[in-house]
Amino acid sequence: MNPRTLLASTILAALVAALVHTQRYDGYFTDPVGLFRWYAACWVLFVLALLALRRVPVAGVVPLVLAEAVAVAVTGLVAPPRTSTDSYRYAWDGRVQSAGISPYDHTPQDPALAWLRDEWLFPTGPSCNGPGRAPVPHDDAGTPHCTRINRPAVHTIYPPVAEAYFLAVDRLSPDGARHKPLQTGGALISLGVTGALGSV
C-alpha cells in the first residue's frame, strides 16, 4: 500500500475508534467537559484525515471515503443517542400517527393519548429520578409519572415530511425496537447522501 494511503487509512481508523468511544461515553450529564474533549479529539482527527486524503493518489481517495462513510454511519448505531432527547419525540410522533391521530392535535402529555404510553417513553416510579425526565400530570398522585420526551406540554414542531419519516420508521419497526430503527434510518440516509454526492 502507498505510504500516503496507509497514513490516511490509519488516521481514519483512529477517527472511527474515537467516534465509537465518544458515542459510548455517557458523560453528557456526569462529565460534560470530558465528553467535549472527546468531541474535540474527533474533530482534530477529522481535519487530519482531510489533510492526509489530499496526499492520497486520486484512485485511492474514493474507496477510502466510501469505506469511512460506512464506518462512521455504523458508529452511530453502537449506543443510544446521548446528547439529545429529540429521538424520543420522533418515536412518539410516529407512534401517534400509526394510531391514526395527527401529531399536531395533541401534546405528548395530553391524557387523550395516555393509552399509547409505555414504560420506555413514559416511565413511572423510581425511573423518574434519572436525568432528562419531565414530569407528567397524572391522576395517580402517589406515584411519580414522567416522560423522556422533551417539552411534553408543547405540540410537535416537525414539518410534514419529517412526520412522514417518523411514521414510516414506526410502521417498519418491530415492537420494542426503541432507538435503533431511527438510528438505522439516519445511517441509511447519510449513506444515500454520500452516494449521491459521490456520483456527481
pLDDT band per the 50, 70, 90 thresholds, residue 195 = confident
Q: How far apart are CA 39 and CA 37, in angstroms?
A: 5
73-112 pLDDT, tens digit each: 999 899 988 888 899 999 999 999 999 999 999 999 999 9
Q: How far apart are CA 200 and CA 192, in angstroms?
A: 13
At 57 the pLDDT is 87
**Out of 27-31, 37-41, 196-200, which region has the weakest mean confidence (pLDDT)?**
196-200
Average pLDDT across the chain, whole number: 90
Concatenated DSSP letters of 36-94: HHHHHHHHHHHHHHHHHHTTS-HHHHHHHHHHHHHHHHHHTTSS--SS--HHHHHHHHH
Q: For residue 100, give the C-alpha cell.
A: 391514526
pTM, rounded to two decimals: 0.86
